[in-house]
């Protein structure tokens, strides 16, 4: 399962989680547009902290919060809902398409931006003119949830409305706020181009299945001592944990037992995970980073 919380983003869980309805995986691009500026009268960009606190602490802001607030000038990202919950930034009419829930995921991204904002003395007319720091990581995380790098109604190119309920209902991908049925906003006006993914070369590295390792971690501890489920794959992980100084060689036996759970939890904590995110059960990001250091790859 992909990471519910984007690695590297500040996590400010505001609660009020609710499931999505299923269907094509979607992401929605918004801009905060918290000031009205013009080419003749640009305005200073509103501080990131103000918008972050609005969505996380203000009662009104919490009712319209997205999944992510993204600062394209610094790369800072804050997340308010897990990926598998609906967020609240789309208008959703009673009896309509339940816009905030209309997909297996509907990940909403608010870019801290308005046209003709001024940052460090420079004026930016379009979001795509900004440094777009953090975009490759953001795109990759959204893509990990099954959202293809496509714009079913076309990439944003000006403040227009191109709403097609049939496309919205049937096609996965990125949508501008101005593309979403029942909504009357026309943002974001532009969006950074998708980052190209290099053509993969055949790998000679050994691989592990994330699904297999999760299963082993959930079943081996309760089984008889020394029980193994996916021994060869667990051994790769245990050898890596031993190399990290987190697991004694005595327990490198192919069983994802309590000692391996504790070692993997220590690995998660080393990466900065806390609380329920450091539970000793492999996740895609933590396992990929372990494999990158110790010569194995991760498959679904």
Instruction: Tokens for 35, please give them.
Output: 């000031």
Element (H, E) at 299: strand 297-299
26 vs 11: CA distance, rounded Å: 21
Per-residue tokens: 32: 């905060």
Q: What is the pTM of this model?
A: 0.68
What average pLDDT does range 67-92 have in this prediction?
97
From residue 100, alpha-carbon distances to 36, 93, 97, 183, 292 in Å are: 26, 10, 9, 11, 36
Fold adopted by 10-179:
Lysozyme-like (3.40.80)
The answer, yes or no, to whether residue 197 has pLDDT greater than 70, is: no
Is 201's pLDDT higher than 80?
A: no
Q: How far apart are CA 2 and CA 68, in angstroms?
A: 16
CB atoms inside a 10 Å sphere around CB 102: 23
pLDDT for position 196: 80
Lowest mean per-residue pLDDT among 26-40, 57-71, 100-114, 221-235: 221-235
Q: What is the pLDDT of residue 200?
A: 46
Q: Is the per-residue pLDDT at 145 higher than 90?
A: yes
pLDDT at 202 over 90: no
**Section 165-179 average pLDDT:** 97
Q: At what angle do helices 210-219 and 258-270 cross, to 10 degrees?
A: 130
Residue 300 pLDDT > 80: no
Angstrom distances, CA of residue 228 to CA of 55, 189, 220, 234: 46, 54, 6, 8
Q: Say if residue 199's pLDDT is above 80.
A: no
Query: pLDDT value at position 96?
Result: 85
Can you give the residue ranges of every domain in the chain? 10-179, 207-299
pLDDT exceeds cutoff 90 at 78: yes
| pLDDT at position 225 | 85
Q: Are strands 77-79 and 10-11 parallel, antiparallel or unpaired?
A: parallel
Map 71-115 to HEC letters.
CCCCCCEEECCCCCECCCCCCCCCCCCCHHHCCCCEEEEEECCCC
230-280 per-position pLDDT tens digit: 999 999 999 999 999 999 999 999 999 999 999 999 999 999 899 998 999
Is residue 201 within 8 A of residue 135, CB to CB? The reply is no
- Name every residue whose Cβ is closer than 8 Å to that of residue 199 and which is 6 or more positions away in sequence: none
């Amino acid at each position: 399962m992909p990471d519910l919380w984007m690695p590297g983003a500040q996590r400010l869980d505001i609660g009020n989680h609710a499931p999505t309805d299923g269907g094509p995986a979607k992401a929605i691009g918004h801009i905060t547009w918290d000031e009205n500026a013009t080419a003749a009268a640009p305005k200073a960009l509103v501080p990131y902290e103000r918008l972050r606190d609005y969505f996380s602490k203000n009662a009104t802001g919490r009712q319209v919060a997205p999944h992510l607030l993204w600062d394209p000038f610094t790369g800072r990202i804050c997340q308010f809902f897990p990926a598998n919950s609906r967020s609240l930034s789309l208008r959703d009419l009673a009896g309509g398409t339940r816009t905030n829930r209309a997909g297996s995921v509907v990940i909403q991204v608010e870019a801290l931006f308005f046209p003709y904002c001024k940052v460090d003395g420079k004026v930016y007319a379009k979001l795509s003119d900004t440094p777009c720091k953090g975009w490759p990581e953001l795109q990759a995380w959204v893509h990990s949830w099954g959202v293809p790098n496509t714009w079913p109604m076309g990439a944003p190119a000006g403040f227009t409305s191109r709403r097609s309920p049939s496309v919205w209902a049937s096609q996965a991908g990125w949508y501008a706020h101005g593309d979403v049925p029942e909504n009357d906003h026309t943002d974001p006006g532009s969006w950074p181009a998708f980052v190209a993914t290099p053509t993969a070369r055949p790998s000679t590295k050994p691989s592990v299945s994330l699904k297999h390792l999760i299963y082993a971690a959930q079943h081996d501890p309760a089984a008889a001592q020394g029980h193994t489920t996916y021994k060869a794959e667990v051994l790769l992980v245990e050898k890596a944990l031993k190399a990290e100084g987190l697991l004694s060689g005595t327990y490198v036996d192919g069983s994802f037992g309590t000692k391996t759970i504790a070692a993997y939890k220590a690995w998660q904590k080393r990466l900065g995970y806390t609380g329920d995110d450091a539970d000793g059960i492999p996740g895609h990001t933590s396992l990929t980073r372990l494999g990158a250091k110790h010569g194995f790859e991760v498959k679904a």
